[in-house]
Amino acid sequence: MESSGGSETSLSRRGCDNAPTRKDRRVGLIYDERMCGHYATEDGDHPECPDRIRAIWKSLESCGFAKRCVVLDAKNAEDNHIALVHSRNHINLIKNTISKSTQSGRRRIASSYNSIYFSKGSSEAAYLAAGSVIEVAEKVAEGQLDSSFAIVRPPGHHAEVDEPMGFCLYNNVAIAASFLLNERKDLGINKILIVDWDVHHGNGTQKMFYSDPRVLFFSVHRHDFGTFYPTGDNGSYIMIGEGPGVGYNINVPWENGRCGDVDYLAVWDHILIPIAKEFNPDIILISAGFDAAIRDPLGGCRVTPYGYSIMLEKLMPFARGKIVMALEGGYNLDSIANSVQACVGVLLGDSPIAGSPQSYPFESTWRVIHQVRQELRAHWPIIASKLPNKVFSKPSPQMDASERGFVGPHSAAAESVARTRIRPGPPPLAPVLLAPSEATAVLHQIPSSDSDGEPENGTATILDVVQTLEDIIKPFSSLKVDEDSQELQKVYIWYAAFGSNMSMARFLCYIEGGQTEGMKRPCVGSMDRSKPVEIMWKTYPHRLFFGRDYTSTWGPGGVAFLHPESNSNEKAYLCLYKITLEQFNDVLLQENGSSHHSSHPTFDMTALDRIKSETSISVETPKRGWYHNVVYLGLEKDIPVLTMTCSLSDIESFKSGTLPIKPPCKEYGNTLIKGLAEGKHLSEEEASAYIEEAYTKPL
């Protein structure tokens, strides 16, 4: 393949050029441009986009790693191999239904599934992705390769036996694992460790091997008490397998976002590594999602390429280094490219990249580790002992003083910490891997511990790292707390909702995270997850209408807009939520298609002062979404009332037909009716008539 050229990568690594520090291992790579034929035709900003794998391949070519690897041709999976984990109906859907349908037909089919889209090239991409993971897994198992990385899409770990979901069509890793166990028994692969470090729980993979003791499935993921995608209890630590598979399903469910390198390494040292040693796998398959990476728009965590390289390095001693990595999620192009590059370097035998984690794990990290070990101790004696007391002796500087014990996740202290943002220092003069607040020291490889007792041969555990970092990492207290953010935490406004957010359950998705009935994908939530301190209903002289024809959250159909100019002949019902200005900023970002939190407010105190005289302000959001126009509706109890809607120029486009006027889909409309009925100003019948008038009356 021809080099993609481009600027030099910012990833700094010893031996990244063509002169490795020790003999290269035989590492396979698969990349095929045909997998870019799968894309969201209706959403140009969809996070699961073709540029994900293009960015990775460009990075590997630029640093010379592609030349040091064995580049293999992608292959299509065979139906009988896919049928090892998927139903025939599911195979028919992916192979025939979506490839033979029109685009409108594909969109209609996709709307019946959770967070799925189809294009003309989706079927081909899905077969190539599954077949490519089989190809590299087979070659590693045969010994032709030492390890491999399959740069594939669509991802797979959410796909279940009989349905696609969560951007995933076929479960690529599960297919490859089942292929090795059932179709290539001659290779002697009798025990497989699947490590899923994607920020989302691998629900599909879990269900496929839930009663199979040949597969040890390990998933570390955001769970947020069941509110983070894919939501529910399947990702809980109590889900440990069934029948002969009891004890072979391990979930490490984070209670919150912002988990970083040290949190993951603590889990490695105190759960994964001891159990992996006892399990003694014949091969390791990694569902390598990189959406827990720092700056990922969906994950909300802080793992650096350094962290990923150490996590991988700690697995290298097992199965004689037979490790197969298959791409899952990861939606920040720079983060995913740098993280994959860091991992491929480890596979090649280079030393892990330079970097450092934050100083201490979260208190909630130790709590989760304790819960997982307690749940599994009867099945894995190596983790039956209690965690050493010294792990609790050094409180995380990310936590408030009152949260340094085992306190609840919704304590006042936890909420106070969740509202704290850190402003990094000035940018460095030269390109570096980590932001200044994330890379304040250089730390080389951390060997893994064998158990919870004294480390063998003087190797360091995560506890030793904590002690070392205490002396070399810049004190947390010296970092400057963002004063703007602190001020926004103290200022209250009324957020006036006129669309689906009139339903309290729907609005809380923007505050607490998760999704409600009818939504196709979850919300990441606000940094401050406190519920509104007060709610009231008011009517305003503005026109409600429905426009656009498709959203990734609700699927086909129009969504609600409020005409930004008042009209005494109109009346709109609005639900007013009293929230902080910081929370309003997080809602504003999510309404405009962004799933990450900004260190600097989009709508700050200056804007709040201006809008009282200007009546509306068009704000700059990362994706310039449909609701970027913040409108001032007056005062209630001396507190500003703000809403967010389209601009006046959009109104003209709706009137001219450039932008479509469309009725809402059933799920979206029902959510509005439910919200209006909850407000007790309208009955369900009156609410239904109000909505119908809004989408039938000319604008």
The catalytic site residues sit at 158
| Number of other residues whose CB lies within 10 A of the CB of residue 488 | 24
Q: For residue 590, what are its two tokens?
A: 């999510």
Burial environment of residue 536 by CB neighbours within 10 A (0 to 12, 13 to 18, 19 or more): middle
Helices (H), 143-260: 172-182, 203-208
Q: Residue 21: which H helix or E strand, with range?
A: none
- CA-to-CA distance for 650 and 559, rounded, in angstroms? 14
Q: For residue 653, what are its two tokens?
A: 């486009």
Ramachandran angles phi, psi of 286, nearest 5°: -110, 120
Contact indicator for 196, 366 with CB cutoff of 8 Å:
no
> What's the Cα-to-Cα distance from 335 to each of 263, 264, 381, 440, rounded to whole Å?
18, 17, 37, 18
Sign for the pseudo-dihedral over CA of 609, 612, 614, 618: positive
Instruction: Give me the torsion for CA of 217, 147, 153, 6, rounded to 10°.
Output: 140
Q: For residue 558, what are its two tokens?
A: 């129009």
CA 635 to chain centre: 38
Burial environment of residue 19 by CB neighbours within 10 A (0 to 12, 13 to 18, 19 or more): exposed
Contact indicator for 38, 368 with CB cutoff of 8 Å:
no
Which residue is associated with the tokens 């009935």? 517
Amino acid symbol at 55: A
Q: Print the SS3 string covering 465-534.
A: HHHHHHHHCCCHHHCEECHHHHHHCCCEEEEEECCHHHCHHHHHHHHHCECCCCCCCCECCCCCCCCCCE
Helix pair angle (581-591, 504-512), 10° resolution: 100
| Number of other residues whose CB lies within 10 A of the CB of residue 202 | 34
Contact indicator for 350, 21 with CB cutoff of 8 Å:
yes
CA nearest neighbour of 487 among 639, 604, 650, 406: 604
